[in-house]
Amino acid sequence: MAPKESIHGSWSSRWAFVLAATGSAVGLGNIWKFPYITGENGGGAFVLVYLFCIALIGVPIMMAEILIGRRGRQSPINTMHTLAIESGHKPAWMYLGVMGVLAGFFILSYYSVIAGWSLEYLIKAASGVFTGQTASGIETLFGDFINDPKYLLLWHTIFMMMTYLVVARGVKSGIEKAVKILMPALVVLLLVLIGYAINTGSFSQGVSFLFNPDFSKLTWGAVLTAMGHAFFTLSLGMGAIMVYGSYLPKSASIAKTTFMIASADTIVALLAGLAIFPLVFANALSPGAGPGLIFITLPHAFGQMDGGVFFGTLFFVLIVFAAWTSAISLLEPVVTWLVENRGMRRATAALTSSITIWLFGILTVFSFPSDSPIKFEFSFIGETKTNGVFDILDILTANIMLPLGGFFIAIFAGWFMSRDATRDELDMGDGFDFNAWRFLVKWVAPTLVLIVFLNIFGII
């Protein structure tokens, strides 16, 4: 039997869960990754596929992940083990939890490096380095920065320490308060930036890039990236939301909370796109600039606008916080497992995993400097990737491990758990249709993931 309460604690209320899960979902994925992959994949059609994946794959799978977590009340690995046995199936389902822990490990290793870039840019913004710079000056600044491993390593170290400190104390204290202030502030600041973009940028060109679908630009590679990003941005497919669900009080409605989290996440991503693309076009920058896109576009804007030092500093502070609340959720599944199965204290578990992930992150640090042996080019389903190990980890996790994890979570909730068990968790009498969810999770979500995978591997 699954325990009634998680030994790691529980949220003080449904709101605490919504805030923490939103903190997990909204992060670098929304502000850094969404704009650059949209730029690389041609805009509108890509965005449309992404929105479609959020609604038809992400939302039902998020509900599945939360309900599995709440029913199992343990680390993802043990939750899958318990629920599989409870429903009369093989304990091998726990390997789904193992894959999730591995995915979290890989993602955090590079996530921390990019969050480190934001820390550096926070200092740069505050010290007025961007003021009056030309676009090419800002590009040089970015190029010089990522070519110098010293600083990349320093900031990666600091960010991993920040993540360790929160997770060591238990994820509840702090997150709630931080997200309550952070999320509204982030939205307000994005609106300020959009206001700036309306006045000085090529706003209509930016809007049309984001929302006018040109399907001739849509490749199967782009569809895979859009689908993978739906998982990444909602923190799905690896147990992060599952572990947060394990701290959720039984009385909270999973459907309602999922809707709030997914909406907040999507809104922040679209606002980020609306702020960034008009500036990209106005300054003749390339939308396909890759991971450096926001670190070039936005500092240039901050350097030109009135109050740019203030807004720039605030913006990077908010990105750092957004990344921090996401990083915490990436580490949590690993830590809960070490506590439950290795008998470690939480602080020891957090330290051991943080150090290992930090070490692994060095591979990403050295994926960017141009003279580094692990910065290399390769081609992945017709697209050229230039940042060696970083790109490999990104493709492996976001495009393969998370969708695969999500696929099996849907299969487990839809086919292996009993109808009564899922209904018991989901049916809170809030006017939401249980059968619609079950249809989506049993048929629609897994079929869509499968179609994309089969296409990528050239099977259909």
Are residues 365 and 113 in contact, defined by beta-carbon separation less than 8 angstroms?
Answer: yes
CA 458, CA 456: separation in Å to the nearest integer? 5
Report, in Å, the least distance between residue 305 CB and ligand PFF.
26
Q: Pick one of 23, 29, 69, 76: the residue that binds ligand PFF (CB under 6 A).
A: 29
Q: What's phi and psi for 385, nearest 5 deg?
A: -110, 140
Q: Which of 23, 27, 291, 388 binds ligand PFF (CB under 6 A)?
A: 27
Q: Indicate the residue type of 388.
A: G
- Give the residue from 74, 93, 130, 160 showing the smallest Cα distance to 360: 160
Site residues (CB under 6 A) for ligand PFF, limited to 330-349:
330
Q: How far is the CB of 436 from ligand PFF (least distance, A)?
A: 25
Q: State which residue, 235 or 387, has the beta carbon closest to ligand PFF.
A: 235
Is the Cβ–Cβ distance between 135 and 283 less than 8 Å?
yes
Is residue 25 within the footprint of ligand PFF (CB under 6 A)? yes
Tell me how far the alpha carbon of residue 185 is from its chain's centroid: 19
Q: Considering only residues 24, 74, 202, 367, which one is a binding residue for ligand PFF as defined by CB under 6 A? A: 24
**Signed CA dihedral, 12, 14, 15, 17: sign only:** positive
Stretch that binds ligand PFF, among 39-47, 119-127, 227-235, 446-454 (CB under 6 A): 227-235
Q: Name the segment binding ligand PFF (CB under 6 A); options: 23-31, 87-95, 154-162, 429-437.
A: 23-31
Q: Which stretch binds ligand PFF (CB under 6 A): 117-125, 163-171, 233-241, 300-308?
A: 233-241
Q: Which residues pair with 383 in a beta bridge?
A: 380
C-alpha closest to that of 294 among 126, 114, 162: 114
CB of 237 to ligand PFF, least distance (A): 8
Pick the closer one to ligand PFF by CB: 17 or 203. 17
- The residue within the footprint of ligand PFF, chosen from 75, 297, 313, 329 (CB under 6 A), is 329
Q: How far is the CB of 266 from ligand PFF (least distance, A)?
A: 11
| Least CB distance to ligand PFF at residue 229 (A) | 8
* Size of interface with ligand PFF, in residues (CB under 6 A): 16
**Binding residue for ligand PFF, selected from 235, 246, 258, 313, defined by CB under 6 A:** 235
**Closest distance between ligand PFF and the C-beta of residue 245, in Å?**
12
Residue of minimal Cβ distance to ligand PFF: 29
Encoded tokens for 228: 């993978």
The residue among 141 and 236 lying less far from ligand PFF, judged by its C-beta, is: 236
Nearest distance in Å: CB 166, ligand PFF = 14
Are 289 and 138 in contact by the 8 Å Cβ rule? The answer is no
- Identify which range of 75-83, 205-213, 276-284, 325-333 contacts ligand PFF by CB under 6 A: 325-333
Q: Report the residue number, 206 or 237, with the smaller CB distance to ligand PFF.
A: 237
CB of 31 to ligand PFF, least distance (A): 8
Selected range binding ligand PFF among 4-12, 81-89, 205-213, 231-239, rule: CB under 6 A: 231-239
Using CA atoms, how far residue 114 sits from 18, 42, 327, in Å, is 25, 23, 11
The CA-based angle 71-76-81, given to 5 degrees, is 75
User: What is the biggest distance separating any 2 CA atoms in the chain, rounded to whole angstroms?
Assistant: 66
CB of 396 to ligand PFF, least distance (A): 13
Position 381: which residue type? I
Q: Is 233 in the site for ligand PFF (CB under 6 A)?
A: yes
Residue 249's identity, in one-letter code, is: P
CA distances for 322 relative to 19, 126, 139, 178, 182, angstroms: 12, 18, 24, 9, 8
Q: What is the DSSP letter of 33?
A: I
DSSP notation for 243-310: HHHTTS-TTS-HHHHHHHHHHHHHHHHHHHHHHHHHHHHHTT--TT-GGGHHHHHHHHHHHHSTTHHH
Q: Of the candidates 148, 108, 42, which has an alpha carbon nearest to the alpha carbon of residue 332?
A: 108
| Rounded-to-integer distance, Cα 244 and Cα 345, Å | 19
Calpha distance 121→152 (Å, rounded): 11
**At CB < 8 A and 24+ separation, what contacts does 371-377 make?**
371/147, 372/149
The CB-of-265 to ligand PFF minimum distance in angstroms stands at 7
- Binding ligand PFF by CB under 6 A: which of 54, 57, 83, 107? 107
CB of 267 to ligand PFF, least distance (A): 13
232 near ligand PFF, judged by CB under 6 A: yes
Residue 238 or 305 having the CB closest to ligand PFF: 238
| Binder of ligand PFF out of 20, 21, 28, 279 (CB under 6 A) | 28
Residue 238 binds to ligand PFF (criterion: CB under 6 A): yes
30 contacts ligand PFF (rule: CB under 6 A): yes
Q: Which two tokens stand for residue 397?
A: 């996790």
Which residues contribute to the site for ligand PFF (CB under 6 A)?
Answer: 24-25, 27-30, 104, 107, 232-233, 235, 238, 240, 326, 329-330
